[in-house]
Structure 1
Amino acid sequence: MPTAEFLFAIWGLLLTPGPTNTLLALSGASAGLRRSTRLMPAELAAYLLVVTPLALFGADLLARQPLAASAVKLAAAGWVAFLAVKLWRVEAGRAQVEAITPRRVFVTTLLNPKGLIIGLTLLPQGAAPFFLLHLGLFAASVLMVAAIWAGAGGMMKRDTTEPPLVYRRAAACWLALLAAALVGAALRA
């Protein structure tokens, strides 16, 4: 895939609302963009931990283990549903900025199905001549998109230390829908 097409596909996928982006936006809304930057290395590390081995060895693995992709989708659905419940249960006045931690972003990104798509279909296979270039562009894109989502959340920030309860409830509903979609995708596979 030519580099321009690769970037267009990566940006389109990474900018799509999902569980990691939801957490980044909520962090931006509660802590602001500058304090949310501490989450970005966790997202990048998780994505690289997923996409690099998939680009190097993933096609062969999935050919031998066809249920592996479904298992990953079900695990991701469980995690996203857990996040939805946690966000829904936060009471007004009791949410803490620390509720969205680098660890939570790391695990959420690790289980994000976007990693499967990127590692198996968008990144060139490890032996391809543009593998390292595209991997570097992907890493830069992850950080750029994370800043966009956290910044968008930061624009919602008010004079309080936490986003209004309605933001958390809306994010919880969105995550619940994503979890249901993941379960559906896993069952269809």
Structure 2
Amino acid sequence: MTLLQFTVAILLLLCTPGPTNTLMALGGYLRGWARALPLTAGELGGYLTVIIPVSTVAAPFFTAYPAALLFAKAAAGIWVLFLSYRLWNSERTIGDAGEISLGQVFVTTLLNPKAVIIALVIMPHGGLLELLPWLGLFAALVLLAANGWILFGSVIGRTERFEIKPVLVRRVAAACLVVFAMILTSSSIQSLA
């Protein structure tokens, strides 16, 4: 894979709406861009926690045992449904910046199927030293995409032309998470059939 192909593939995946991006946008909406920036560490940490061991060690394991991949998808679906439930039932106000935590972003990214796709399909496999340049580029792309989602949420939060109620933003985000969980579940069920 060329450098350009790698960059385009990673950016396409990172810019696709999903559970992590939903949390990043909601964090930007609730906190504003500058105060939501620490959430990027949770996203980057979650991705690297999956990608490094899978790309360097576990790729042959997942190829030999596809059921392990189904288990990972099921765990991700359960976590996303849990986050959706919490967002839907949250009664916090817009001034409460503690609603989206670094830990939630980390765990959501850790369970995000995009991480496994990146590790198995896009990231080269090999030793850690061989992967370092690719991991550096990947980290820069994650930070770029995460900032884009945070900025998107922040802009929505500051829109003055029409008022967007925080409860509406949380419920739309919760609905997006449910849809994503349904997609994960249906792909797992189809794999079993």
The answer to whether TM tops 0.5 is yes
Measure the CA separation in 2 of the matches of 1:170 and 1:123. 32
Task: Number of aligned residue pairs: give it.
Answer: 187
Paired with 2:26 and 2:87, the residues of 1 have a C-alpha distance of: 10
The aligned residue for residue 84 of structure 1 is 84
Distance apart, 1:94 and its partner CA: 7.8
The one of 154, 171, 174 aligned to 2:173: 171
Number of the residue aligned with 2:114: 114
Q: How does 1:5-44 map to 2 (within 5 A)?
A: 5-44=5-44
Structure 1 range deviating more: 64-73 or 84-93? 84-93
Post-superposition Cα deviations, 1:27-78, rounded to whole Å, max 9, x if no partner, equal 1011001000111111111110100111112321113322100000000000
Name the structure 2 match of 1:125. 125
Distance 1:129 1:30, change over 3 A: closer
Which whole-Å CA distance do the structure 2 matches of 1:32 and 1:175 have between them?
21
Q: Would you say 1:188 and 2:151 are equivalent positions?
A: no
Deviation digits for residues 103-132 of structure 1, max 9, x if unmatched?
Answer: 100000000000000000100012499632
Deviations 1:136-172 (CA, angstroms, capped at 9, x unpaired) = 110111111110000100001149xx96211111111
Name the % identity. Answer: 41
Match of 1:52 in 2: 52
User: Which runs of no fewer than 5 residues in structure 1 stay unpaired?
Assistant: none
Partner Cα separation in structure 1 for residue 33 and residue 94 of structure 2: 21
**CA shift at 1:96, angstroms?**
2.7
Does residue 130 of structure 2 align to residue 97 of structure 1?
no
| Separation in 2, partners of 1:75, 1:97 | 27
Shift of 1:188: 1.7
Q: 1: distance between equivalents of 2:137 and 2:58?
A: 20
Change (3 A) 1:128 1:26: closer
Question: Normalised by the size of structure 1, how large is the TM-score?
Answer: 0.93
CA contact (8 A) 1:58 1:119 kept: no
Distance 1:82 1:183 in 2: 14
Confirm or deny: 8 A CA contact 2:92 2:99 kept in the other structure.
no
The residue identity in structure 2 corresponding to 1:179 is: A
**AA of the residue aligned to 1:135:** L
Q: Give yes or no for contact 2:30–2:94 (8 Å, CA) kept in 1.
A: no
Q: Partners in 1 of 2:76 and 2:30 — Cα distance?
A: 25
Q: CA deviation at 1:99?
A: 1.1
Aligned AA (1:177): V
> In the superposition, relative to structure 1, how do residues 39 and 129 fare at CA in structure 2: closer, same or farther (>3 Å)?
closer
Q: Which runs of 4+ in 1 moved over 3 A?
A: 92-95, 127-130
For the aligned residues, what is the CA RMSD?
2.0
Range that drifts further, 178-187 or 95-104: 95-104
Residue pair 1:19, 1:112 contacting (<8 A) in 2 also:
yes
> 1:93, CA displacement in angstroms?
3.6
Cα gap change, 1:93 to 1:49, in 2 (>3 Å): closer
